[in-house]
Every structure is written in C-alpha cells, then in structure tokens.
Structure 1
Amino acid sequence: MHPIRSMLIAGLLACTLPLAALPADAASQPAVGDAAPDGTPPVPLLWKVSDADNSIYLLGSFHLLKPSDYPTAAEIDAAFDQASEVVFEIPPAALADPATGMKMLQASGYADGRSLSQVLAPGELEQLDALFRASGQSVASVEAYEPWFINLSLVMGMSQAMGFDSTHGLDQHLIARAADKGKPTAGLETIDAQLAALDGMPMEEQVESLVEFVQDPAQARVELAQMHDAWRQGDTGLLETLAIDEMKSRTPESYRLVNVARNDAWLPELQAMLDDRSDEDVLVVVGAMHLLGEDGLVDKLSAAGYAVERMCGACSAE
C-alpha cells in the first residue's frame, strides 16, 4: 500500500477545483484494471438526513467520471427533484469564473522563494524529469510549482488517459442539470478556502506523495481504477479503506486540512439547513471522502441527533 492515494483523493474525492494539467501527458498510459461498466447506474453514495420538518440529501461525488457512469441512479434523480436548492463544495458561479485558474496558479507557487529543485532530493528530481522526458517534456517547466500542484496535474493527465473527464464529474453533471431546471445553487466554501487547504499541506507530506507517484505511476493507475470501481459499487467500507486509511496514517496533516477541518467548517452550515428551514429540502453534493468514516459528515450529523438513512435500494441495510 502506498500513500499515492493522498493526492488522488485531493483531486477526485475531496476537492472540486479544476486541476490545471500542466504536464498532462507525463503520466498518460493505457488504463489498467478499470472496471467495465455493466450498463446499470452506479450505486449511489446518498444519505437522507432529517429533523422534524425537512431533510438534506448528502451525495458523495467522484469529481472526474466517464460517460459510461451515467445515467444516475433513481435515488439521485428523486433527491434532485425533491430539493429546492442544490449545494456544492464551491458555488458554481465561482467555479466558472476565469479568475479561478489564476488563483490556483498563484497558490501553487512558493511563498518563501524556494523552487522545486530545492525541495526535492537530486535523485527524486531526476526521476520526475525522466517521467516528463518520456513524453517530450522537462521538469524545468514545473520548477516554480509546489509538489501538491504538480501531483494533481499528473493525476489529471493520468485520469484523462484512462478516460476520465472533469466535465463528466457528478458535481458538474448536477450543476448543469440545476441550471437547466432553474434550481438555485450555492456553495459550502470559497475557492480561497479550498486552495488554502491544499496549499497548507506540509511540504514533507507533499514531497512524499509526489515521490510515491513518480516512483510507481502504474500503481497509481491501478489505485484510481480501484477507487472508481468502489465508488460505482457504492461500497462504503472498501472506499474508506482505499481512500482514507492510507492518507490518514501516512500524511495526517494533509488529511486533517483536506478533509477533517473542512468537514468541521461545513457542519454548522448543514445543521442550519435543517434547523432554520421548514419544508425545504436541500441536495448537498460533495466529494465522497467527506461523507465516509468517523470524520465524515454522515457520522457527525448522526451524532448530532438527526435521523440518518442511506438512500440506496441496491444496498444491504447499513
């Protein structure tokens, strides 16, 4: 087991930001081990959380998907139809703002004046350069960027080579559906807050995750395929094992910033949707990582006394 998943999660199971694929071809290889869809919709990671007079539906997203991951399950369609508002990690209008990309580039630089060659060991830099040179690129093109940004860019390139696309992500699909139906939308946090979580990850953890990816990109492709398959199956136990356990143990501060701290910041907003509204249901779409495990929003809301029910006709009782 490798901590490669820490950056995969940040891009695909925890964060909504569009990932700038700087060296997109550097990790482009044929797909390995991806599950062949059987034509049925993915099993939804969907929970209904209720108080006396209204409900919120928590839906776990995979931020990059394939056309074969559609249509959505009937439970998702029903929750969307029932909701008076659809809430995402970041307001859709902010995601579409051209300034978002510039903010991400600004956050990806070194605030202390260092460069990539100063934070990677010579051998690690050579390995990264070899990965780039294999596709006609050079590590010099990313010298100004921090490891987290390079890692996410590599993940984006790898994902695209495997047939994933952000335009097919579940959140993007529902953003488009909400616009088509005229449903109001909102966000739980700002772009600046999400960037601060990524940029705040300790340098040593950023380096560890990037080096693990560079040393074994084939393993990263296998892990992405496994996580996508677990997400399609709606297998909460397997997805928690694949997506959380390694990051939590190997890069704990990154896990805290990307997952726990953001969940804690969102929790009062979700409670207000229940406590301060009546007869208005809300669909909340966030990366699947935010719903799973003891740090997840499902357990936190259950512990706060709300009624929680998994909405999944294909699932066994949980």
Structure 2
Amino acid sequence: MPARMHRIILILAGALLALPVVGSTPRAPQQAPPVPLLWKVSDADSHIYLLGSFHLLAKSDYPLSPDIDRAFDDAEALVFEVAPEDLNDPGVTPRMLALAASDPASSIARVMPANLKPALDRRLASLGLPSDRMASFEPWFVDTMLVTMLGQRSGYAPDDGLDRVLMARAQQAGKPASGLETVDQQLATLDGTPIAEQVASLREFVEEGDQAPAKLDELHAAWRNADVPALERLTREEMRDLTPVTYQRMVAERNRAWVPQLERLLAQGRGHDVLVVVGALHLLGEDGVVDQLRARGYRVERICTVCRPKATR
C-alpha cells in the first residue's frame, strides 16, 4: 500500500501543528485507550521515556493509557520535536507560507504534470482549497495541507494530536518543556527535499482519491493498536524505498541529530527524568532512536501493560 501520503502525518510536528485548522469533529467513542508506543531508556542512575506520537488524532483517542500517565507523572520535564513556545509563535504560519512560495520555479503551477492538474484541482476543491490560491506553493506544502484537511474531514486534527495535548498538560502541571529542533529547521528540511519526490508524493495522494480516508484510518488504527509491523510497512519501509532522499533527510538524519541530545538528557543524572514525545516513525526500525540508543549500550525496555508479555521489542 502506498505510504508517502502518510509520512507527512507521522513526521511533521511543528509544520503540521502550526497550520491554522480547527479541532477534530466528534468520532465514535473508543472502547479502550490507545496502546502506547512507549519505551524506557536507562543508564546507571537515570532514565528517559520515548513516546511515539501521532500528530493528527481524534477526541475519542482520549483518555491516554495509564502507562503514559505514569511516565508523565514520573518525568520532571518533557521534550518534544519542537518547543511549545516555538510552535505557538504567531510568526510560524507566515514564515511557512513565505517559504512554500519562495521559489516560483518549484511551484505546483510549474512542476506538476499537465495530465495531473485537473485531478489535483478537483482534489483541492473537494477539501475546500481553491486551486488558484495554492498554485504558487511548492508540492510539499500542498501535500501537507491536503493531508491536514483530509484528516479534519475524517475526524482528526493537529489540536487533538498527542503532542498538543501533552504540551497543554505539561503547562498545566508546571513542568518545563523544550524541543529537539526548531520549526524553521523542520521547514527548511522539508523544503530541501527533492522536487521530484515532492511531486511523486503529491501525485500519489491525488491518485488515491476516495481511498485516502480509509488509508488514513488504517494508519491511525495501526498507531492506536501499537502495531509496529504495520506501522513500519505503512510508513518507514515504503518511504525508504520509494523516496529515499526524503527518508534520509526527514527521518534518518534527524534521528541521528537527536540521539546525542537524548544522551545529554540521560547524563543529567538522578532526579532529571524526561518524557520525550516524537513522531512514532522516529522510534521504529534500525534507523530509529530506540535501536540507536540500544546499540550505544543503554538499557531499553518497552512499557506496555496491556500487551505483556509480547512487548519485547
């Protein structure tokens, strides 16, 4: 199943959560909290928790697992991909729009194949995005807007994403929160991905047509059930194979940049335990933060009360 549409949802925290969209519409209540994608990484005298988030969620995805509640309570601080104050900067959205329109030669008006334009225009119109207003933007931004608007129509929204919810909870609890990178770094990385791969991703989204909502639901279900093999198949593996440069820049390189920062958190010692919340894709596979920290000799354990004893990864 194609996966490049789905990478946007799992990868982008700052860029996606900064978009000016409203909260999700109500969905049918769930029977149980989502199964957590939660790991505990320890050295001799301290530990950090790694929590895999989904940046578009529904109100019915709450409350969270008691495992997450306990990790939150245990942590003295939280770390996200982007610090809350950076994410909430009112200048983020204008900067994002300016960057997305900064290179007319890379706009969808110039780079989208002529045979795809009618279908793209219909897709944009169906989600309330006038094609004439989107024509000056680069494919990565249009792709992001389409996925975000599709999510909202399907009952998901950034405001209900795990990142936003835990940021608000940290503020209420008086716990400090910081970021591993800035929104501008995220945007620059995305803007620097190859135009050919941006176009391929946008083409795939357009050609999915009416199947897109069901695929979004499938990905959400995989996250909700902590189905690691399904998540890897739907995101990391196909993204790595089909858009290899984008995968390296958006996933592998960022993971490698985060690991030393996480090691510095561990080095703070007893009394400085931290809950780190990043897109689930960043925790999976051999390029993932979990395996990288395990390879560096830290003790790593999966925290999942409801899925014991099978949660051994």
**TM-score bucket of the superposed structures, by smaller chain:** over 0.9
Q: CA RMSD in A?
A: 2.1
SS in 2 for 1:57: strand
Match of 1:210 in 2: 202
The reply to whether residue 9 of structure 1 matches residue 7 of structure 2 is yes
Residues 1:133 and 1:52: Cα distance change in structure 2 (over 3 Å)? closer
1:279–1:108 distance in 2 versus 1, CA, 3 Å: same
Encode CA deviations 1:165-222: one digit per residue, 9 max, x unaligned.
1111111111011011100110000111111121111000000010111112223222
Partner of 1:161: 153
Q: Which amino acid aligns with 1:13?
A: L
For 1:85, the equivalent position in structure 2 comes to 77
Give the TM-score normalised by the residue count of structure 2: 0.92
Q: Distance in 2 between matches of 1:245 and 1:76?
A: 27
Hey, what's the Cα distance between the residues in 2 that align with 1:276 and 1:81?
Answer: 18
**Percent of matched pairs sharing the same residue:** 47
User: Secondary structure at the residue paired with 1:13?
Assistant: helix
Distance 1:133 1:190, change over 3 A: closer
Give the whole-Å Cα distance in 1 for the aligned partners of 2:154 and 2:118. 26
When residues 76 and 135 of structure 1 are mapped into structure 2, their CA distance, relative to the original with a 3 A threshold, is closer
State how far apart, in whole Å, the 2-side matches of 1:58 and 1:312 are.
Answer: 12
Task: Give 1:175's aligned residue.
Answer: 167
Deviation of 1:21 after TM superposition, in Å, equals 6.3
Query: Which residue of 1 is the match for residue 261 of structure 2?
Result: 269
Deviations 1:90-143 (A, max 9, x none): 000011110111121122124364432210111111221232345676422111
Determine the C-alpha separation between the residues in 2 that align with 1:292 and 1:74: 22
- Is 1:121 paired with 2:118? no
Instruction: Indicate whether 1:317 and 2:311 are aligned.
Output: yes
The one-character-per-residue Cα deviations of 1:45-76 (angstroms, maximum 9, x if unpaired) are 00000000000000000011111101111110
Distance 1:21 1:182, change over 3 A: closer
2:289 is aligned to: 297
1:302 and 1:110, CA in 2 relative to 1: closer, same or farther beyond 3 A? same
Contact kept? 1:65, 1:165, Cα under 8 Å: yes
CA contact (8 A) 2:5 2:204 kept: no
Name the count of aligned residue pairs. 306
Structure 1 residues 291 and 162: alpha-carbon distance in aligned structure 2, compared to 1, 3 A threshold: same
Where does the alignment leave 5 or more consecutive residues of structure 1 unmatched?
25-29
CA contact (8 A) 1:55 1:281 kept: yes
Alignment partner for residue 97 of structure 1, among 71, 78, 89? Answer: 89
- 1:317 Cα deviation (Å)? 3.3
Name the residue aligned to 2:245. 253
Query: 1:281 & 1:135 partners in 2: Cα distance?
Result: 43
CA distance in 2, matches of 1:246, 1:135: 26
| TM-score scaled by length of structure 1 | 0.91
State the alpha-carbon separation in 1 of the partners of residues 72 and 45 from structure 2.
18
Does the 8 Å contact 2:49/2:274 carry over to 1? yes
Amino acid across the alignment from 1:249: D
